[in-house]
Amino acid sequence: NAGVTQTPKFQVLKTGQSMTLQCAQDMNHEYMSWYRQDPGMGLRLIHYSVGAGITDQGEVPNGYNVSRSTTEDFPLRLLSAAPSQTSVYFCASRYGQGGGYTFGSGTRLTVV
């Protein structure tokens, strides 16, 4: 049981490049979400999904896209990376009401 798996763990991008942060869970969780963590800011919700085919925006969605074609996977896409997107990104999932979120180990992204 791997839990929530995020890849890659580290990434350096140049401004304007695109990339996809991968998130996969093997717990059959309905709910998945993406957060970014910046120093002194805590974690902020980017996008979330309440099931396959259903996604919505969180607090800081600008510059990010998501899709949820399967229960297991919830990739986060940066279409045109900007230095302001330098951050640590966490993916999380939970089963349903009454369940706490399980977090992945994070992706540290640097945009130069």
Name the residue nearer to another protein (CB basis): 14 or 42: 42
Check residue 64 for interaction with another protein (CB under 8 A).
no
Q: For another protein, which is the closer residue by CB, 17 or 73?
A: 73
Please report whether residue 43 would count as binding another protein according to CB under 8 A.
yes
Instruction: Identify each DSSP E strand in the chain by its residue range.
Output: 4-7, 10-13, 19-25, 31-38, 42-51, 54-57, 64-66, 76-78, 87-94, 102-103, 107-111
Note whether 112 and 14 are within 8 A (CB).
yes
State whether residue 98 is helix, strand or coil. coil
Based on CB atoms, which residue is closest to another protein, 17 or 101?
101
Q: Rule CB under 8 A: which residues touch another protein? A: 31, 33, 35, 40-45, 48-50, 56, 58-59, 90, 92, 97-98, 100-106
